Amino acid sequence: MSYEKLFENNISSESVKAWKASGKKAIGYVCCHVPTEILIAADIMPVRLRATNCVDSSDAEAWMSSFSCSFARSILQYLMNGTYELDGLVQSDGCMMATRILDNWEHISKKNGKEQFVYQVGAPRITNDTTIAYYKSELQDLADKLGAFSGTKVTDDALKAAIAKTNEIRDLIDQVYDLRREAKVSGTEALNITLAHCDYTVDEYIALLKEFLADAKNRKPIEARARLMIIGSALDNPEYIKVIEEKGGLVVADALCFGAKAFGDKIAVDDADVMGSIAKYYLTRNTCPRSLDNRPAIHKEIVDACKKFDVQGVIYEKMQNCECWGGEAYYLEPDLKAEGIPMLQLEREEHMANAGQLAIRAEAFIEMLDK
């Protein structure tokens, strides 16, 4: 399998079809508060749903109001039109609109006589011993139900084997981001690489990453440009970053749930409490501002990344009607200003209809940084 598959922007169903053809189950999820290790341990292929290149969500608009974000509507559209043909959907309450995808899809699939495995994981919005214990109970119930659905019981040994694989992916992604810091991998390439994680099995993805890294480490650095970091709402379209980089910037870092935040640090396993280790990891990591008590930690991680990757400016992209990132700029910008890091705020929709405006604003921001 050539690593060029990492850069195929369109959603690929090739691996899902091959997996299902072998008699196994494939289940989708939206938010990264759904631990993929549990699905893998149940011998189920986890498929993270994305809305890349969706230009018409008219079917989904009959089910989700105009106040919902276009990212959520577009994913529902892809479920309705057959872009995704899966055996079920697992969702956490990462945000209200992602939850509405599950609600609507459960109703639509039943209405169409295609009842599927559907499960809602409750992920608390504060972190302490009590909420971690509750989240663990939610994950254990999910594991039991997934095991019954797939016919493969989720055991501690299976979970540890799954963690070993996902930790290997995290290590390989760290190496990709090291190359970003060295300007050997562009931001457009990096987002393509992390998005490919949505479409392939863990073993296929590991093989693709290893092949890519073996080649990319021999690259010469990209010529010096304004070094940028992009943060904000779910961004699953590399073309958005490509427009910015074509105007003279280089996106060397991100805090995106389809980018760095989809992977994070490795999971530390307590052999005496494997499920508890997973629960603690997923609930304590700072993926987005959905939690009520992690704002300072998220801001610190963004500032630290700016220092680590020598970032000159931050681009804050916000999906219209995004509940998690809608007002975070108000709290974050003073922290960046204190470090002398300027921030550009951009509002967008899933379908990239405003590429011209994006190009103009990105170019002006980059010119300001170059002065």
Rounded Cα gap, residues 179 and 174, in angstroms: 9
* Domain C-terminal end among 131, 154, 177: 154
- Whether 58 and 182 share a structural domain: no
Question: What does the pLDDT read at residue 95?
Answer: 84
Residue 371 pLDDT > 80, yes or no?
Answer: no
- Whether 256 and 321 share a structural domain: yes
Question: What does the pLDDT read at residue 1?
Answer: 65
pLDDT in tens, 131-157: 999 999 999 999 999 999 999 999 999
Question: What does the pLDDT read at residue 50?
Answer: 96
- 8-state DSSP, 286: -
Q: Structural domain tally of the chain? A: 2
* Domain C-terminal end among 154, 178, 200: 154
Band the pLDDT of 332: cuts 50, 70, 90: very high
DSSP E strands: which ranges in 218-328?
226-232, 249-255, 313-319
Rounded Cα gap, residues 345 and 168, in angstroms: 34
As a whole number, mean pLDDT of residues 121-126 equals: 92
- Whether 140 and 180 share a structural domain: no
Segment among 242-246, 278-282, 290-294, 327-331 with least mean pLDDT? 290-294
- Whether 347 and 200 share a structural domain: yes
Cβ–Cβ < 8 Å for 226, 250: yes
The parent domain of residue 251 ranges over 159-370
Token pair listed for 356: 């011209």
**% the chain with pLDDT above 70:** 100
Rounded Cα gap, residues 205 and 45, in angstroms: 12
- DSSP code per residue over 31-80: STTS-HHHHHHTTEEEEE---TT----HHHHTTS-TTS-HHHHHHHHHHH
Q: Which residues pair with 25 in a beta bridge?
A: 44
Q: What is the CATH number of the domain that holds 24?
A: 3.40.50.11890
Residue 275 pLDDT > 70, yes or no?
Answer: yes
- Whether 165 and 314 share a structural domain: yes
Residue 277 pLDDT > 80, yes or no?
Answer: yes
pLDDT in tens, 213-264: 999 999 999 999 999 999 999 999 999 999 999 999 999 999 999 999 999 9
* Domain C-terminal end among 132, 154, 176: 154
Question: Residues with Cβ < 8 Å from 141, sequence gap 6 or more?
Answer: none
Q: What is the CATH number of the domain that holds 217?
A: 3.40.50.11900
Residue 322 pLDDT > 90, yes or no?
Answer: no
Rounded Cα gap, residues 200 and 234, in angstroms: 20
The H or E element that residue 291 is part of is none
- Whether 244 and 126 share a structural domain: no
Question: What does the pLDDT read at residue 51?
Answer: 95
- Whether 345 and 251 share a structural domain: yes
Kindly report the average pLDDT of the chain as a whole number: 94
Rounded alpha-carbon distances, angstroms, from residue 249 to 169, 224, 305 = 28, 9, 17
The H or E element that residue 348 is part of is strand 343-348
- Whether 180 and 150 share a structural domain: no
Terminal Cα-to-Cα distance of the chain (whole angstroms):
45
